[in-house]
Structure 1
Amino acid sequence: MKHFEKIQTLLPLGYLYLVILGIIKETAFFYQLDINILKYSSIMDVLISPIATLTSNPIVFIIITIILISSFYLPDFLFKNDHKNWVRKIFELKKTKTDLGNDEIKNYYLFISIKFLAVFLLSVYLGYGVGEGYTISNRIKDNKLKYEHKLNYATGESEIVSLLETNSLYYFYVEKGKQSVKIAPIGGIKNIEIIY
C-alpha cells in the first residue's frame, strides 16, 4: 500500500509528463507532413492528446495498460529478484542489500520503476508518432491513400478526401488526386460522409 500512496503523490507530475508525450507524438507525426501542429491546436487539444492517443488504437491501449500494471508491481519484483544477474543487467541495479535498509531499498526500486515507466512511455509515444507520420507521408507521396470520406462544405461544395487527422479546430486531409495536405476549419464543414 505504501507504493500506491507514493505513486498517488506523483500523479500530477505523471499527467504533465503524459501531456508532454502527447505533444511530442503529435509534433513527430505532423512534422513529417510539414505542419507545425502547435499553430493549429487549442489548449484543450494539447491536454487531451495523450488520452486520445491511448484510445485511438486498441493495441496501443493494451500495450500501455500492460506497461502501467507492470511498473506498479516492478518494485516488489525487483526486491525479490535483485540477486539475479539478468535482473541486475536489465534494470542496471546497484548493490543495495548490504548498504541500505528495506525501506530505502524499496524507495530505490520505486524510483527504478518510475524511470522504467517514463522511458517506456516515451518510446511508445515517440515511436507511434514517427511511425504513423512516416507511413502517412509515404502513402501521400505514392498516392496510396484510401479516400473514404466526403466533406460537405457549408457553401454546398463537396470533396472526396482521405481524412488524416482532426482536432477541435481543424480537419487535416488530402483531396482525391492531389498530394498536398489541406487544412480546413471545422466551422466551414457542414458534415462528413463516410464512403464504404
Structure 2
Amino acid sequence: MKNIDKIQTLLPLGYLYLVILGIAKEGLYYYQIGINIVTYSSIMDILISPIATITSHLIFTIPILLLFIFHYNLPKFLLKNDDKLWVQKLFDIKKNYENKDVTEEEKRNEYIFVSVKMLNSFLFSLYIGFGFGGGYFLSKKIKENKLQYEYKVNYNDGKSENIHLIGSNTTYYFFLSKGNPAIKITPVASIKNIEMTKKKSFY
C-alpha cells in the first residue's frame, strides 16, 4: 500500500514535469520560425501537450516507450546486480552495496530514485533535442524552399490551397501555402477540412 500511495503522489508531479517539457519543446520548435506558441495555446493545449508530443512521430514515440520500459525495470536490475563493479560505477551505487547496514527496502527506494533521476535526464534531453532540432531543420527548409506540400486545405468559403502543415492545436493551424514563404496562422473554425495529398514528412 505504501508503494501505491507513493506512486499516486508522484504521478501528478510526473505529469506536470511532462507538461513543462512539452511546452519547452513546442516553444523551441516554433520560436525558430518566429512564433510564440504559448500565445496561441489554450489551457487544454498545454495540458494535453505531453500526450500530443509523445504520439506526434514514431521516431519520438518509440524512444519514449523504450525509456519508460527500461527505467521501470531498472530498480529490479540494480537489486540483482549491485555486486558487479561495472554496475556500481555506471549507476554510482557503490556506497549502497558496501554499506552492510542498508536494508533491501532502502536499497530498492534508492534505486527507484536513481531510475527516476536518469529518466528525467533522458526525457529532458529528448524533448529539448527534438524541439531544437525540429525547429532548426524546419526553418532551414523554409529558407531553402525545400518543403513538401503534402496537404490540401479546404476553407469554409469554398477556396482551397496546397500547404505544408507545420502543426496545429485546438484553436489554430500553422502552415505555409505553396509559393508563399509567409507562415499562416489560421483559426480552426475557418477551415472545412484538410486532405493529405502526399505522404507526410517528419519535419
TM-score, length-scaled by structure 1: 0.91
Structure 1 partner of 2:168: 166
Root-mean-square deviation (CA), in Å? 1.9
Structure 2 partner of 1:41: 41
Structure 2 partner of 1:52: 52
1:82 alignment partner AA: D
For residues 65-144 of structure 1, what are the structure 2 equivalents within 5 Å? 65-97=65-97, 98=99, 99-144=101-146
Aligned partners of 2:196, 2:95: CA distance in 1, in Å? Answer: 59
Residue from 183, 191, 197 that aligns with 1:189: 191
Structure 2 partner of 1:12: 12
Aligned partners of 1:69, 1:3: CA distance in 2, in Å? Answer: 18
Aligned partners of 1:76, 1:22: CA distance in 2, in Å? Answer: 29
Structure 1 partner of 2:148: 146
Q: Deviations over 1:93-133 (max 9, x none)?
A: 35113142222121111111111111111111111211211
Aligned partners of 1:7, 1:103: CA distance in 2, in Å? Answer: 16
After the TM superposition, which of the residue ranges 80-89 and 111-120 deviates more from structure 2?
80-89
Unaligned stretches of 5+ residues in structure 2 = 199-203
Aligned partners of 1:157, 1:69: CA distance in 2, in Å? Answer: 47
Q: Deviations over 1:32-76 (max 9, x none)?
A: 111100000011111111101111222322211111111111112
Aligned partners of 1:90, 1:32: CA distance in 2, in Å? Answer: 36
Structure 1 partner of 2:21: 21
Q: Secondary structure at the match of 1:116?
A: helix
Counterparts in 2 of 1:2 and 1:58: CA distance versus 1, 3 Å: farther
Is the CA contact (8 Å cut-off) linking 1:151 and 1:192 kept in structure 2?
yes
After the TM superposition, which of the residue ranges 2-11 and 160-169 deviates more from structure 2?
2-11
Aligned partners of 1:177, 1:92: CA distance in 2, in Å? Answer: 55
Is the CA contact (8 Å cut-off) linking 1:3 and 1:110 kept in structure 2?
no
The structure 1 segments of at least 4 consecutive aligned residues displaced by more than 3 Å after TM superposition are 1-9
Aligned partners of 1:112, 1:76: CA distance in 2, in Å? Answer: 12
Q: Secondary structure at the match of 2:83?
A: coil
Q: Secondary structure at the match of 1:144?
A: coil
Unaligned stretches of 5+ residues in structure 1 = none
